[in-house]
A and B are shown apart, each in its own frame.
Chain A
Amino acid sequence: MKFGIDYFPDAQPDRVSARQYFDDVLDLAERADDLGYDSVEIVEHYFTSYGGYCPDPSVFLAACSQRTRRLRLVTGAVLPVFNHPLKLAGQLTMLDAISGGRLDVGIARAFMPYEFDAFGVCRVLHVDGRARLQHDGRPLPRRASRAGGEAPALSPGLP
């Protein structure tokens, strides 16, 4: 049976600063690595003490990759709706290379209404009961679509 640790930053800035929070969780990840845990995972959220200290799992996991030797690094999860998918794929590929192939990617759809509202990238969650994720409408170029389809394989080496 495998065991991981999961970070959900629910700290409030007036009590625990972001600097303090990340200092703590990097130390704990290092300890978990020594103790034989299998993975470290972090969320993507915005703006509030509901996870808002971590709008970008890649940044945190890149730091973890340099403080740990064996732990798998897990996005739990990244949210393509708030990130251009090509940028996200490139970023994750870079993280996989930096960490020596330790990345596992989880992808989710997001669910906090104020996050959708602030990004304004999709009209969703209105009271008419119909929710549709609507990107800004520009179709991805064909070549990019193909590349996007291959993204989960996370093969190193971007064009």
Chain B
Amino acid sequence: MVLHLFVAPTRAEAREECRPYMEQYLRNFSDAAKAWTDRQSGQYKQYSSLEQMLDDITYERVLDETRAIIGDPDDVARQLTYIRETFGEVYPSFQINFGMMEKAKARRSLELFARHVMPHFR
């Protein structure tokens, strides 16, 4: 299961710093999905409304509805537990550098997750 992951030392930092990258990711996806807006296909039902669906997703909804894993290490462990309770034994595959994120921030997410969160789920 592909999940966006952004981890920072504090919740406030994580939520604030992640915003421009997630918004860029959503904007980019929505732009690509415009290609579907006047097309229809029986084998790709609902894709015609993909752009609209994406335009309705705000950063606040991403946070409120746990559509991505964003927070400090404790938040992230809780969100991952929620994902597992909701979807079962998933194999998360993390997008760590979405929205043209600088490498240092992506690396920090990787490191914080590996050090503080991964051991609880092994």
- The main secondary structure of chain B at its interface with chain A is helix
B86 at interface, CB cutoff 8 A: no
**Main SS class of interface, A:** loop
Q: Which residue of B lies closest to A23 (CB)?
A: B103
Q: Which residue of A lies closest to B106 (CB)?
A: A28
Partner of A28, one of B98, B107, B122: B107
Comparing A57-65, A93-101, A107-115, A146-154, the segment that makes contact with chain B is A107-115
Interchain CB contact under 8 A, B91 and A125:
no
CB distance from A39 to the nearest CB of B (A): 7
Nearest CB of A to B113, in Å: 8
List A residues 1-59 near B (Cβ within 8 Å).
1-8, 10-12, 15-16, 24-25, 27-28, 31-32, 35-39, 41, 48-50
Q: Chain A's nearest CB lies how many Å from the CB of B82?
A: 14
Residue on B nearest A117 in the bound complex, by CB: B35
Among A80-88, A126-134, A136-144, the stretch in contact with B: A126-134
Q: Is the CB of A24 within 8 A of B42?
A: no
Pairs A-B, 8 closest by C-beta atoms: A50-B32, A131-B41, A35-B114, A4-B93, A131-B43, A6-B93, A1-B121, A24-B103
| Chain B residues in the interface with A (C-beta under 8 A) | 2, 24-25, 28-29, 31-32, 35-36, 38-44, 47, 84, 89, 91-100, 103, 106-107, 110-111, 113-115, 118, 121-122
Known pairs A4-B93, A5-B95. 5 more at Cβ < 8 A?
Answer: A5-B110, A6-B94, A10-B25, A49-B32, A112-B35
